[in-house]
């Protein structure tokens, strides 16, 4: 007989089993049928989870993809319906005589009711339901931006702003309005919208986003309007940092005009799997390439996983530089992103900042898609070179390139390939599929890619005409700087002073200017900036041949306007923000090879003597007959342009916002006249350090300009430099003039009268015996009448230039100074304080002589 105690024990055991089975069933139903969290403390456990939040999101996204639901139909002209919860949109922007070809804006399946109008066409969308709240048009050709700014300020935080332009929308678009669009709504490209350009944009007030919903095109010289911009797709609200276009933009030609279709890469199987040894990383990097009419996207895989690829509408790959930064120690990707270095200055600055910030041991993997060099700056190329690239400077328009680098290399990477550009103008496919050591080993080769740089020049000359000797001789000789042959000058201020080259409309002239600058011994390419109007393939490719920095400004109607824009740009350059002096080189200038030696002896004068406004490399009277001593310097009351020094303090305090009144003429006609000079003077050489090329054809003041530039000379020896520069400090210079006058030989009045009659003046006429090495000083005292007749007669005698036949320039304190055969001549007027040094027996030259 079973005891009661045993019976109770068996009953308890059975109940425990039944209860356990019941609890398991409850857990199974919750977890796997209802998919509910079983643990009531799951939020606490989630906070303790050490798995990166990014990977958690990715897992959740993968789970969600199995349950994606689409709208029943495509809206706004899109070919595919959007995912439920997203908003279809279609934007068309541009300029045309037939407004019907510019479609109205469409958002969430609803098209705007208003007709397209000149300027900014704007709608506001409710971010909660995607409904259009309001429609407006702001004609920024005829009206200023005040109403537009008020409108933007009045948009509620969170509301969505949708804009397309028609015809012209930039003329009266203020900087303040651009700032609001950029800072409050997230525009990346509003700063690039120029005259009759096209712009389409979706932004959201107070919400940060990456600007995927935006595109701008610029009007080319041959166009009346910029190319039409078309944006189609599905928008996700809010426009968060992670938001990308949910649908690839359709039916648009690739940049450059070739009608190509882009072929997505399939993520599955594109990486391959390398059987790599320990302490190595499997990397597969492949550039884009064109196969017939199909443009293939690039690929970057690390350890068998694709980070740059395209699979239909998914994946990440795009025009420009596609970049992956990988930590080989943790075997994790730090970042993977795309920088549009074809179109965006902002993207170029962003990639520079990224590359400069990566850790020394991180892999940086880069490849190209479509065109990547148009906005590729000097700073970005320098950052890539620091990672071990040898070929970055040899990349040309639409070159294909694949690269793996590492900062700790301190030399050239063995993992770099550049593809040949085919007859169709596209780079061929290049591919690296390797097991990369955790610590790469550099290859022992020359730092400069001489062959690549030379080939870049050859390819340029095959593509473009009009460059004369540049494209006929020495094509294989690379465009590299000349070494400094005087070690004592390495630390001199002149060799670290920025040089700003202002480009005119003629690119062959720009090429000659850059060629002359490159021949200056000791030149630092990093210090040279070429400023050009707008951004064109040819001009960009030309500047890249010289490895100079390049900056763009909006088109100006006059060269004086171009100078205004250049000065403002120069002062805003972040990489020169600590520089206070800038050597400005104007259009159609060829500088002498001793230019920096000249400035090595003169730049410091502006710091030591505040009565010096600038130092110019041009002499107003630098003719072959009246300038002969390269070691000699003058002071003059005239501002002399062409090549001169712009000082930041003077710009900030005196010139900013006054460019119109001071500087609306060519510099050779005189700038900064009147009050802006404030009694300050300009240092100039006796022999100019530049030559000026004249414009071909017919133009305003041609006769006068030709007379001004005829028979000029400049130094040609790279080792020339001025001496006794300290004598140019104001007090010392005045004392020097007194000494020269005391030792001078007055020119006989009869000799001057003969000169006026015959137009010739020689030392033999003055009956002065001398040997070839001696220097003589001659003085001429004249009556300074109100119309300057006497001085103008003397200038005619000595073949000195008289501006517009009325004004004699290049005067200091009433003295005109020049040299003939290294002999110094001083013309002293009766109003000068030095006239009192005239010997009593010396007669005065008068206008009626």
Identify which has the larger pLDDT, 78 or 326. Answer: 326
Which pLDDT score, from 0 to 100, does residue 199 have? 92
Average pLDDT, integer, range 365-389: 91
Cα(513)–Cα(426) distance, rounded to whole angstroms?
30
Average pLDDT, integer, range 664-685: 83
Band (pLDDT 50/70/90 cuts) for residue 672 is confident
| 653-659 own/partner pairs: CB under 8 Å, 24+ apart | 655/567, 656/568, 656/571, 659/563, 659/564, 659/567
Q: Are 513 and 587 in contact (CB under 8 A)?
A: yes
Average pLDDT, integer, range 642-653: 94
Residue 418 has pLDDT above 70, yes or no: yes
Residue 414 has pLDDT above 70, yes or no: yes
DSSP element (H, E) containing 794: helix 789-798
Residue 444 has pLDDT above 90, yes or no: no
Dihedral angle sign, alpha carbons of residues 447, 451, 452, 453: positive
Average pLDDT, integer, range 789-811: 87
Q: Max CA-CA distance within the chain?
A: 161
Which pLDDT score, from 0 to 100, does residue 847 have? 81
Which pLDDT score, from 0 to 100, does residue 695 have? 82
CA atoms within 13 A on the CB side of 681: 21
Which pLDDT score, from 0 to 100, does residue 733 have? 96
Which pLDDT score, from 0 to 100, does residue 37 have? 39
Which pLDDT score, from 0 to 100, does residue 20 have? 58
Tokens linked to 132 = 């259009």
Residue 513 has pLDDT above 90, yes or no: yes
Residue 134 has pLDDT above 80, yes or no: yes
Tokens linked to 341 = 């270095």
Which pLDDT score, from 0 to 100, does residue 51 have? 38
Burial grade of 346 (CB within 10 A; 0-12, 13-18, 19 or more): middle
Residue 708 has pLDDT above 80, yes or no: yes
Which pLDDT score, from 0 to 100, does residue 40 have? 35
Which pLDDT score, from 0 to 100, does residue 285 have? 95
Which pLDDT score, from 0 to 100, does residue 240 have? 65
Per-residue pLDDT tens for 269-281? 678 766 788 899 9
Which pLDDT score, from 0 to 100, does residue 475 have? 76
Which pLDDT score, from 0 to 100, does residue 325 have? 96
Instruction: Please list the helix, strand and coil fractions of the chain in percent, rounded to the nearest 5, in that order.
Output: 30, 25, 45
Residue 242 has pLDDT above 50, yes or no: no
Asked if the bond preceding 238 is cis, omega within 30° of 0, the reply is yes
Residue 10 has pLDDT above 50, yes or no: no
Which range, of 247-251, 295-299, 460-464, 573-577, averages the lowest pLDDT? 247-251
Tokens linked to 345 = 């200055």
Band (pLDDT 50/70/90 cuts) for residue 225 is confident
Cα(371)–Cα(373) distance, rounded to whole angstroms?
6
Q: Give the residue among 351, 345, 349 at the shortest CA–CA distance from 368.
A: 351
Q: Are 763 and 747 in contact (CB under 8 A)?
A: no
Per-residue pLDDT tens for 724-779? 999 999 999 999 999 999 999 998 877 887 777 776 655 444 444 444 455 799 99
Average pLDDT, integer, range 811-833: 94
Residue 42 has pLDDT above 50, yes or no: no
Average pLDDT, integer, range 247-261: 40
Question: Which residues make beta-bridge pairs with 552?
Answer: 532
Tokens linked to 228 = 């039409």
Q: Are 290 and 318 in contact (CB under 8 A)?
A: no
Band (pLDDT 50/70/90 cuts) for residue 99 is low
Band (pLDDT 50/70/90 cuts) for residue 496 is very high
Average pLDDT, integer, range 9-31: 52
Q: Give the residue among 191, 186, 284 at the shortest CA–CA distance from 554.
A: 191
Residue 213 has pLDDT above 80, yes or no: yes
Instruction: Say how far residue 579 (Cα) sits from the centre of its chain.
Output: 17
Q: How high is the mean pLDDT of the chain? A: 83
Q: Are 231 and 107 in contact (CB under 8 A)?
A: no
Which pLDDT score, from 0 to 100, does residue 273 have? 61
Per-residue pLDDT tens for 110-130? 988 877 888 999 999 999 899
What is the pairing mode between strands 589-591 and 643-647?
Answer: unpaired
Cα(171)–Cα(188) distance, rounded to whole angstroms?
19
Residue 254 has pLDDT above 60, yes or no: no
Identify which has the larger pLDDT, 95 or 14. Answer: 95
Residue 713 has pLDDT above 60, yes or no: yes
Which pLDDT score, from 0 to 100, does residue 6 have? 41
Share of residues in the chain with pLDDT > 90 (%): 43
Q: Are 327 and 335 in contact (CB under 8 A)?
A: no
Average pLDDT, integer, range 136-141: 90
Cα(155)–Cα(495) distance, rounded to whole angstroms?
51
Which pLDDT score, from 0 to 100, does residue 457 have? 85
Band (pLDDT 50/70/90 cuts) for residue 189 is confident
Average pLDDT, integer, range 27-53: 39
């Amino acid at each position: 007989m079973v005891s009661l105690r045993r019976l109770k024990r068996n009953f308890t055991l059975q109940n425990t089993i039944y209860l356990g089975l019941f609890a398991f069933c409850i857990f199974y139903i919750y977890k796997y049928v209802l998919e509910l969290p079983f643990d009531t403390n799951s939020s606490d456990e989630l906070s303790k989870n050490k798995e990166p939040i990014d990977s958690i999101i990715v897992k959740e996204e993968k789970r969600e993809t199995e349950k994606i639901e689409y709208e029943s139909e495509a809206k706004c002209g899109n070919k595919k319906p959007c995912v439920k919860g997203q908003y279809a949109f279609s934007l068309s922007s541009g300029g045309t005589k037939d407004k019907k070809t510019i479609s109205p804006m469409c958002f969430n399946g609803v098209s705007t009711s208003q007709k397209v109008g000149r300027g900014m066409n704007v709608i506001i969308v409710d971010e909660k339901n995607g409904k259009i709240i309001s429609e407006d048009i702001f004609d920024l050709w005829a009206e200023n931006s005040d109403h537009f700014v008020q409108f933007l300020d009045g948009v509620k935080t969170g509301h969505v702003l949708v804009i397309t332009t028609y015809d012209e929308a930039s003329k009266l678009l203020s900087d303040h309005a651009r700032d609001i669009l950029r800072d409050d709504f997230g525009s990346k490209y509003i700063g690039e919208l120029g005259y009759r350009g096209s712009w389409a944009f979706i932004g959201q007030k107070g919400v940060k986003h990456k600007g995927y919903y935006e595109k701008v095109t610029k009007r080319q010289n041959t166009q009346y309007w910029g190319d039409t911009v078309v944006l189609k797709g599905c928008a996700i609200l809010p426009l968060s940092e992670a938001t990308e276009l949910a649908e690839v933009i359709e039916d648009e030609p690739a940049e450059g005009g070739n009608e190509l279709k882009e072929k997505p890469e399939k993520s599955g199987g594109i990486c391959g799997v390398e059987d790599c040894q320990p302490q190595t990383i499997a990397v597969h990097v492949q550039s884009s390439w064109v196969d017939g009419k199909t443009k293939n996207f690039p690929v970057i895989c690390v350890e068998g996983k694709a980070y740059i690829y395209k699979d239909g509408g998914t994946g990440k790959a795009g025009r420009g530089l596609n970049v992956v930064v990988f930590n080989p120690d943790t075997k994790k990707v730090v970042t993977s992103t795309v920088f549009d270095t074809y179109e965006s200055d902002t993207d170029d600055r962003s990639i520079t900042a990224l590359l400069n910030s990566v850790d020394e041991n991180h892999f940086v993997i880069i490849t190209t898609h479509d065109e990547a060099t148009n906005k590729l700056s000097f700073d970005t190329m320098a950052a890539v070179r620091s990672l071990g690239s040898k070929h970055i400077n040899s990349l040309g328009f639409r070159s294909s390139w694949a690269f793996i680098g590492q900062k700790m290399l301190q030399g050239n990477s063995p993992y770099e390939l550049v593809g040949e550009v085919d007859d169709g103008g596209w780079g061929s496919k290049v591919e690296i599929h390797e097991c990369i050591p955790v610590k790469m080993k550099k290859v022992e080769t020359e730092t400069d890619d001489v062959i690549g740089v030379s080939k870049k020049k050859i390819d340029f000359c095959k593509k473009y005409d009009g460059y004369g000797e540049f494209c006929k001789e020495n094509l294989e000789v690379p465009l590299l700087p000349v070494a400094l042959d005087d070690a004592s000058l390495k630390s001199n201020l002149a060799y670290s002073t920025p040089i700003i080259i202002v480009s005119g409309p003629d690119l062959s002239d720009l090429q000659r200017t850059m060629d002359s600058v490159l021949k200056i011994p000791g030149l630092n390419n990093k210090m040279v900036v070429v400023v050009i109007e707008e951004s064109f393939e040819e001009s960009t490719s030309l500047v890249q041949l010289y490895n100079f920095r390049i900056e763009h400004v909006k088109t100006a109607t006059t060269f004086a306007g171009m100078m205004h824009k250049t000065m403002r740009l120069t002062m805003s350059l972040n990489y020169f923000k600590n520089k206070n002096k800038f050597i400005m080189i104007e259009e159609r200038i060829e500088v002498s090879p001793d230019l920096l030696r000249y400035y090595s002896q003169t730049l410091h004068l502006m710091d030591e003597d505040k009565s010096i406004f600038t130092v110019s490399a041009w002499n107003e009277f630098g003719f072959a007959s009246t300038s002969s001593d390269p070691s000699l310097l003058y002071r003059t009351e005239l501002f002399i342009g062409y090549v001169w020094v712009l000082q930041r303090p003077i710009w900030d305090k005196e010139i900013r916002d006054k460019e119109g009144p001071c500087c609306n003429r060519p510099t050779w006609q005189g700038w900064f006249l009147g009050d802006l000079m404030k009694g300050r003077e300009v240092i100039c050489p006796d022999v100019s350090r530049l030559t000026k090329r004249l414009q071909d054809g017919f133009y305003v003041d041609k006769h006068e300009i030709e007379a001004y530039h005829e028979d000029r000379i400049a130094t040609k020896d790279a080792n020339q430099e001025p001496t006794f520069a300290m004598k140019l400090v104001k007090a010392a210079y005045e004392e020097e003039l007194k000494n020269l006058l005391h030792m001078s030989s007055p020119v006989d009045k009869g000799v001057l009268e003969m000169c006026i009659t015959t137009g010739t003046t020689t030392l033999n006429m003055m009956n002065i015996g001398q040997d070839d090495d001696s220097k003589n000083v001659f003085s001429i005292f004249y009556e300074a009448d109100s119309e300057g007749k006497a001085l103008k007669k003397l200038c005619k005698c000595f073949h000195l230039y008289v501006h517009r036949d009325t004004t004699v320039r290049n005067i200091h304190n009433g003295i005109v100074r020049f040299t003939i055969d290294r002999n110094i001549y001083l013309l002293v007027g009766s109003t000068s304080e030095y006239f009192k040094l005239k010997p009593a027996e010396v007669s005065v030259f008068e206008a009626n002589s």
